């Protein structure tokens, strides 16, 4: 197990590993690790000879400066968790190692960024695509692991890797939840005790929405979730959309050709949370 801070050293390690014919799996993260991240690391270890984890709070994907400043950082705890889970390389670069020059690339997501996170966080996915493609160029993974928790991010990264012909397989991993249903997130630790209780409105309304599917149309379910969240004290709904899992376009019936996903974003106090549920599984 090795922790690498510099791009040059990472490149030389990766070069040697690839020459030796070993398969490389990659888990990009922003740190403040929890079981959701560690589940990705475990999948990666099962499926590859070498597991590379990156910890980098990417400034380019934050459209809100305060959000970037408040983002939790705890490198020592992260490394201890990774040590007990197992890994081969951890890459923990500073900003200049990832972006020696400002990254001015502008990506075309073919409209996948027009709704939900893309609409509410302008520039967010462009920053995500910048960092992920940069990290792919450095780590040269055979497979890369992403959580379904960030559903729209996964759809967008699949498009970017295929448009740019990156020879990497994108592997999606299930959402890991706390015992009471709250989707695990690094941001959960920013919630006060009271806010932590209030945040349950997100997962609970998604579970209720799924149970309603048998008797109600997507529009009715959308109205229900919107109303429920709007009447939850201390929770400000940003959006709830019921979408086609491939095109990310809103659906009007359940018998869609692809998986139908309900995606929610809300602010609990100052903390912005997202979650989603698959209505088709």
Instruction: Give 218 or 277: the residue with its C-beta nearer to ligand AMP.
Output: 277
Most distant CA atoms of the chain, gap in Å = 58
Binding residue (CB under 6 A) for ligand AMP from 150, 195, 241, 256: 150
Q: Which of 102, 95, 44, 50 is nearest to 73 (CA)?
A: 95
Assess 175 for contact with ligand AMP (CB under 6 A): yes
CA angle (141 as vertex; 140, 146 as ends), nearest 5: 130
Instruction: Give 13 or 187: the residue with its C-beta nearer to ligand AMP.
Output: 187
Assess 134 for contact with ligand AMP (CB under 6 A): no
Q: Which stretch binds ligand AMP (CB under 6 A): 32-40, 103-111, 131-139, 226-234?
A: 32-40
CB 71 within 8 A of CB 30: yes
Binding residue (CB under 6 A) for ligand AMP from 24, 38, 40, 82: 40
Shortest gap between Cβ of 31 and ligand AMP (angstroms)?
6
Active centre residues (catalytic): 37
Residue number of the CB atom closest to ligand AMP: 147
Tokens of 29: 């993260």
Question: What are the CA-CA distances from residue 16 to residues 75, 88, 89 (Å)?
Answer: 26, 13, 13
Burial track 52-64 (b if 16+ CB lie within 10 A, e otherwise): bbbbbbbebbbee
Assess 128 for contact with ligand AMP (CB under 6 A): no
Distance separating alpha carbons of residues 180 and 51, to the nearest angstrom: 31
Assess 140 for contact with ligand AMP (CB under 6 A): no
Assess 147 for contact with ligand AMP (CB under 6 A): yes
Assess 213 for contact with ligand AMP (CB under 6 A): no
Binding residue (CB under 6 A) for ligand AMP from 24, 30, 131, 191: 30
List of residues contacting ligand AMP (CB under 6 A): 29-30, 36-37, 39-40, 146-147, 149-150, 173, 175-176, 183-186
């Amino acid at each position: 197990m090795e922790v690498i801070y510099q791009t040059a050293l990472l490149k030389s390690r990766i070069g040697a590993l690839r020459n030796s014919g070993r398969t490389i799996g990659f888990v990009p993260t922003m740190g403040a690790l929890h079981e959701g991240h560690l589940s990705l690391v475990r999948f990666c270890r099962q499926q590859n000879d070498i597991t590379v984890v990156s910890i980098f709070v990417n400034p380019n994907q934050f459209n809100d400066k305060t959000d970037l400043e408040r983002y939790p950082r705890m490198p020592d705890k992260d490394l201890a968790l990774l040590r007990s889970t197992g890994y081969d390389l951890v890459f923990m670069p500073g900003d200049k190692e990832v972006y020696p020059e400002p990254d001015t690339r502008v990506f075309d997501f073919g409209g996948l960024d027009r709704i939900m996170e893309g609409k509410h966080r302008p520039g967010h996915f462009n920053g995500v695509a910048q960092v992920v493609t940069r990290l792919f160029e450095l780590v040269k993974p055979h497979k890369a692991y992403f959580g379904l928790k960030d559903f729209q991010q996964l759809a967008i990264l699949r498009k970017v890797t295929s448009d740019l012909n990156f020879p990497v397989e994108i592997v999606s991993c299930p959402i890991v939840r706390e015992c009471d249903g709250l989707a695990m997130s690094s941001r959960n630790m920013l919630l006060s005790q009271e806010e932590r209780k209030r945040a349950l409105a997100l997962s609970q309304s998604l579970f209720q929405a799924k149970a309603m599917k048998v008797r109600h149309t997507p529009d009715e379910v959308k109205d229900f979730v919107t109303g429920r969240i709007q009447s939850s004290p201390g929770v400000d709904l940003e959006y709830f959309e019921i979408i086609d899992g491939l095109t990310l376009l809103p659906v009007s019936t359940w018998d869609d050709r692809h998986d139908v996903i309900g995606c929610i974003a809300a602010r609990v106090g100052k903390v912005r949370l997202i979650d989603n549920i698959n209505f088709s599984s």
